[in-house]
Structure 1
Amino acid sequence: MRQDTISDATGIGSVIETDIPARLDRLPWGRFHVLVIAALGVTWILDGLEVTLVGAISGALMESPTLRFTNTDIGLASSAYLLGAVIGALVFGWLTDRLGRKKLFFTTLTIYMLATIATAFSWNLWSFIVFRFLTGTGIGGEYTAVNSTIQELIPARVRGWTDLVINGSFWLGAAIGALGAIVLLDTSLLPGDFGWRGAFAIGGTLSAIIFFMRLWIPESPRWLITHGRAAEAGKIIDGIEEAFRRKGFILASVSAAPERLKTRTHTPLWEVATTILNIYQRRAFVGFSLMAAQAYFYNAIFFTYALILTEFYGIPAGDIGWYILPFALGNFLGPICIGRWFDTWGRRPMLLLTYTVSGLLLAITGYLFAENLVTVRQLTAAWVAVFFVGSAAASAAYLTVSESFPLEVRALAIALFYSVGTGVGGVLGPFFLGHLIDSGSRATVLVGYLIGSALMIGAAVVAACWAVAAEGRPLEDVAKPLAAAE
């Protein structure tokens, strides 16, 4: 690495010629990447835990002598969580691009930890909603800081599959939440109004453990370079490579041409807006379509799954977790089994396939439910099939958005599309479908499912036309850095 020109003592405004991006992409898979996935990918586990807990304990919240929620209250609390995630993503996304990935993924994890513990001490509907909102802000911020970091540290040849598996780990959290609810809602172990409170301690405990694991994760060298900290970036990549050599790995030579980047302190918001909405307008439309469709598809259905089981099939609140477990397993296995095709067959054909198939399966399952043609076990099996494919589709939306835009605006781009997509498809979805369930009519609920199906198929068409072919390509090739010096 060498600096060509220096305009000030900090290196801001200098032009740096560097091969660090290529050195990161040539690394073999090793312990470093596993640690990155474990310490950062836990964000999705925490989100899955939170979503599942509220769904699994919804019956307990309705029966609680302190809270006595209605179905609409449950939907409102779910929407508050998602609204918090939207605002958290925007605020922390902007800060992540400005202050760095590492500072923010510690900050957002702390906010999540404190807020989810506070939820256990809720005393009425509005305190519960406020704490859920704050929990959501932490999770939304986590998405932006963590996804941008993972994208910038994982080699290009496995970026797609890795990203999908990490996003799919949401369902490990769902399984943990389901098992936790089964145990903690057992009134022979805990009084009824204490079980749901204890359930929120799971997320607080897990996040405290992960906080210490993240101490070993470095700042993104790609981010450091563009912010005038080339020497620090060099030390990080040297240390990573030396760890591989000590393990006996022989590193391939760097064949790609060095990147020439002009360092900057930050990217002005006007330039962020121009980049996303003007220069990459078509990619922006693809990102919005994918995110909005999967947000409604997932949040509207999964946040209200427990209500369907209790209202239409009479499943006791304490047994909800047993039905969520196979649902979570199918969702987790989908990205693992399908994800590699995003790196081999390609992004565009796989987006078309997964979004179309999951949309069609949703419509079929909704029809079977509306006509009362399936038992509760058959309905669960149908949902497993729907979301085996749908989980890969939803995860691919985050992959597409995070790799489609330049490094300098990556975190804020993730935040923007997550926020807009979730705001349109996710915040309104649970409240809307919860209201449909309150009608007591299966046909009315079907309308909500058909909307989700139409959104998924529409997003598939958009992706087939305009999604970028990013498989196996370095991030700097997919989207040229704004700091690139000609």
Structure 2
Amino acid sequence: MTRTDDAVIGTVTTKVPARLDRLPWSRWHWMIVIGLGTVWILDGLEVTIVGNMAGRLSEPGSGLPITDAQVTGMAAALYVAGACSGALFFGWLTDRFGRRKLFLITLAVYLAATALTALSTSVWWFFLFRFLTGFGIGGEYAAINSAIDELIPSKYRGRVDLIINGSYWLGAMGGALLSVVALDTDIFPMDLGWRLSFALGVVLGLVVLLVRRHVPESPRWMFIHGRSEGAEELVSSVERQVEREKGVPLPEPSRAITIEQRRSIGFIEIARTLFHAYPKRAVLGFALFIGQAFLYNAITFGFGSILVKFFDVPTGSTGYYFAVIAFGNFLGPLLLGRLFDTVGRRPMIAGTYIVSGLLLFGTAWLFDRGSLDATTMTLCWCVVLFFASAGASSAYLTVSEIFPMETRAMAIAFFYAIGTAAGGISGPLLFAELTESGVVGDAVLAFCVGATLMVLAGLVALFLAVAAEGRSLEDIATPLSATEAADEDGSPPAARVGG
């Protein structure tokens, strides 16, 4: 047994995973959800404010010499590029130094960058801090999804993960309605309203930071990284709280796991695990992320421009339409989330992707025929995104639960970065040009590309999705450090699980 810093590295047998999974839902779990899940609301607020204010930011007198295409194209792409970079950078740090440290640091980065965005007076300043805001948000995705899945009982993991990721759309709805007020020059001067909108994001972020200080480190991360005593104490404390709340003793945990603790894991072993031990799961992760990233980042970034250019909706009114779409997006994970734990991951993931893609093809056909106005277009989008939002949220759930514990944050970061870069950087740049043209056929083309990728991703899930519902994370993917799962030839235990 060796000591590194405050961690003691050795071999330990623990029931911590089983003890966490057999907990009933309690006030402690609500604290986790509120402390970690609310950041998605901030992300939705950020993206929507920029999208809906694109027209105002590009108008003379806004205090920022920027064009509409630069806001919905370059600034959007830089935000996504920052998110991809932040996910990879902070994802590696999250697996190495712990979930709690990083979800505090990433939120601090977001707060600072958002505050400085509100002070932008030049295009380069606005671009820089949009990138850094995304950098913080990307880190949040890796740190938060890792912590959520490791703290929530297996019985509830699917629905909780989907609803938390879907809460992005509560922020989007708030951002849409906020933009209506901020764009009203009878209330705020043209060069002040959009700055106050960003400042509100900072205020909300500070509130989240105060709550998040009480969220503990993941006990699963702790016992693997030589902090088994701390993990045992933390879980025992939670068990006492839950027993007092419920008034009944908890059942005995079902099984133990023996772990050969380690300080960190290298990139080579991470890559070997993802692509050699789990090739089919890697393909699944790519397909899900690329499909949802292109649909959302390519199309919703430009929805306000579509309303203005094709339906003559005033710039100051686009927020009302987007609020309806955001509400439909949130209802998807909220109402369908439970089915991912009961009906199962494979049918629900495949179904939501394929159905949303087919509905988007139908919307593109109606739009091309000239059968839609601003209201019916919004309703069509609301129905499409009801299913697409549940599917998109399940992409984060999938990559966070189908790979070994030691690689979890990095796996989330990697698939998020690659998938989002493919659809989220090229998407806004392409779609900004298509909507800027004012040609119906150009917008229809973008819709069809997004629909095609969603359907293809759904077909991949139909064959490759993992039946993870109700199962412990350690059963879905054996930890690399699990001594009882090691092969005689010394290959990582994950290799025994298969694709």
Name the TM-score, length of structure 2 as normaliser: 0.95
Query: Residue 49 of structure 2 aligns with which residue?
Result: 53
Q: 1:80 aligned to 2:81?
A: no
Q: 1:119 aligned to 2:117?
A: yes
What SS is found at the alignment partner of 1:200? Answer: helix
- Distance across 2 between alignment mates of 1:326 and 1:335: 16
Query: Residue 338 of structure 1 aligns with which residue?
Result: 336
TM alignment of 1:239-278, pairs within 5 A = 239-278=237-276
How far the C-alpha of 1:220 sits from its partner, in A, is 0.2
Counterpart contact for 1:88–1:137, Cα < 8 Å: yes
How far the C-alpha of 1:249 sits from its partner, in A, is 3.8
The amino acid that maps onto 2:307 is L
- Distance across 2 between alignment mates of 1:118 and 1:274: 40
Q: 1:79 to 1:261 in 2, by over 3 A?
A: same
Query: Residue 142 of structure 1 aligns with which residue?
Result: 140
Corresponding residue to 2:302 among 292, 301, 304: 304
1:334-353 residue CA offsets vs partner (Å, 9 max, x unmatched): 11111111111111111111
TM alignment of 1:84-123, pairs within 5 A = 84-123=82-121
- Distance across 1 between alignment mates of 2:153 and 2:247: 15
Corresponding residue to 1:463 among 461, 464, 478: 461
Query: Residue 186 of structure 2 aligns with which residue?
Result: 188
The amino acid that maps onto 1:38 is I
TM alignment of 1:63-462, pairs within 5 A = 63-65=59-61, 66-74=63-71, 75-462=73-460
How far the C-alpha of 1:235 sits from its partner, in A, is 1.2
Counterpart contact for 1:293–1:455, Cα < 8 Å: yes
- Distance across 1 between alignment mates of 2:465 and 2:59: 47
How far the C-alpha of 1:127 sits from its partner, in A, is 1.2
Q: 1:328 to 1:349 in 2, by over 3 A?
A: same
Counterpart contact for 2:57–2:68, Cα < 8 Å: no
How far the C-alpha of 1:12 sits from its partner, in A, is 4.3
What SS is found at the alignment partner of 2:191? Answer: helix
- Distance across 2 between alignment mates of 1:298 and 1:231: 43
Counterpart contact for 1:92–1:141, Cα < 8 Å: yes
- Distance across 2 between alignment mates of 1:198 and 1:372: 38
Counterpart contact for 1:12–1:265, Cα < 8 Å: no
- Distance across 2 between alignment mates of 1:85 and 1:399: 18
1:53-97 residue CA offsets vs partner (Å, 9 max, x unmatched): 011111111114233433321211001000000000000000000
The amino acid that maps onto 2:453 is L
Query: Residue 16 of structure 1 aligns with which residue?
Result: 12
Q: 1:317 to 1:153 in 2, by over 3 A?
A: same
Counterpart contact for 1:64–1:192, Cα < 8 Å: no
1:205-259 residue CA offsets vs partner (Å, 9 max, x unmatched): 0110111101110000000000000111111111111111221342432342201
- Distance across 2 between alignment mates of 1:193 and 1:371: 39
Of 69-78 and 468-477, deviating more is: 69-78
- Distance across 2 between alignment mates of 1:245 and 1:58: 52
The amino acid that maps onto 2:98 is G
- Distance across 1 between alignment mates of 2:165 and 2:180: 25
How far the C-alpha of 1:8 sits from its partner, in A, is 4.5
Corresponding residue to 1:41 among 22, 37, 43: 37
Pairwise CA RMSD of aligned residues?
1.2
How far the C-alpha of 1:124 sits from its partner, in A, is 2.0
How far the C-alpha of 1:11 sits from its partner, in A, is 5.8
Counterpart contact for 1:27–1:251, Cα < 8 Å: no
The amino acid that maps onto 1:40 is L
The amino acid that maps onto 2:463 is C
Q: 1:301 to 1:207 in 2, by over 3 A?
A: same
What SS is found at the alignment partner of 2:58? Answer: helix
Query: Residue 497 of structure 2 aligns with which residue?
Result: none
Counterpart contact for 2:15–2:253, Cα < 8 Å: no
Query: Residue 474 of structure 1 aligns with which residue?
Result: 472
Counterpart contact for 1:355–1:459, Cα < 8 Å: yes
Q: 1:64 to 1:98 in 2, by over 3 A?
A: farther
The amino acid that maps onto 2:283 is F
What SS is found at the alignment partner of 2:403? Answer: coil
Query: Residue 491 of structure 2 aligns with which residue?
Result: none
How far the C-alpha of 1:422 sits from its partner, in A, is 0.2
What SS is found at the alignment partner of 1:260? Answer: strand
The amino acid that maps onto 2:69 is T
Q: 1:203 to 1:64 in 2, by over 3 A?
A: farther
Name the TM-score, length of structure 1 as normaliser: 0.97
The amino acid that maps onto 1:67 is L
- Distance across 1 between alignment mates of 2:15 and 2:270: 25
Counterpart contact for 1:64–1:193, Cα < 8 Å: no
The amino acid that maps onto 2:168 is F
Q: 1:251 to 1:28 in 2, by over 3 A?
A: farther
- Distance across 2 between alignment mates of 1:251 and 1:467: 36
Counterpart contact for 1:43–1:143, Cα < 8 Å: no
- Distance across 2 between alignment mates of 1:120 and 1:42: 21
Unaligned segments of structure 2, at least 5 residues: 485-499
How far the C-alpha of 1:440 sits from its partner, in A, is 1.3
- Distance across 2 between alignment mates of 1:249 and 1:270: 48
Counterpart contact for 2:183–2:190, Cα < 8 Å: yes
- Distance across 2 between alignment mates of 1:126 and 1:373: 41
Identity of aligned residues (%): 47
The amino acid that maps onto 1:430 is P
Of 256-265 and 56-65, deviating more is: 56-65
Unaligned segments of structure 1, at least 5 residues: 1-5
How far the C-alpha of 1:445 sits from its partner, in A, is 1.1
